[in-house]
Amino acid sequence: MTHQKSMVGIGLMVALMVSLSGCASTVRLSSKTMCEAHGGTYSSDSKQCAYPAQPPTRSAADICRMHGGELDPVTDTCAVNDRSK
């Protein structure tokens, strides 16, 4: 009987994990990662990215918006909705 209960518990946990994984539709990217991916140098103090061959600086919020996301200034991450679904 104990074996059956543990198998049921494992089955419920797997089912819950699978169902919740389908709800994850937001990707979080750090501002530094986005800046460096575009060839820039990120300043976490000013939250700006400097590009050598482009405009002198862009704010983290501007870069995030260019990716279709919204910047969370507290965590300094960009939340981009997954449009592939």
- What's the domain count of the chain? 1
Domain annotation covers residue 14: no
In the prediction, which pLDDT does 76 show? Answer: 93
User: Which has more pLDDT, 85 or 59?
Assistant: 59
Domain annotation covers residue 72: yes
In the prediction, which pLDDT does 10 show? Answer: 52
Domain annotation covers residue 16: no
This prediction has a pTM of 0.41
The string of pLDDT tens digits covering residues 3-59 is: 454 444 555 454 545 444 455 678 888 999 888 887 889 999 999 998 877 666 889
Token pair in block for residue 61 = 């919020």
Q: Which domain holds residue 58?
A: 25-85
Domain annotation covers residue 36: yes
The maximal CA–CA distance of the chain, rounded, in angstroms, is 69
Sheet holding 26-30, edge to edge: 26-30, 77-81, 69-72
Domain annotation covers residue 6: no
Domain annotation covers residue 66: yes
CA 47 to chain centre: 17
Domain annotation covers residue 38: yes
Pairing between β-strand 69-72 and β-strand 57-59 as defined by DSSP bridges: unpaired
Domain annotation covers residue 63: yes
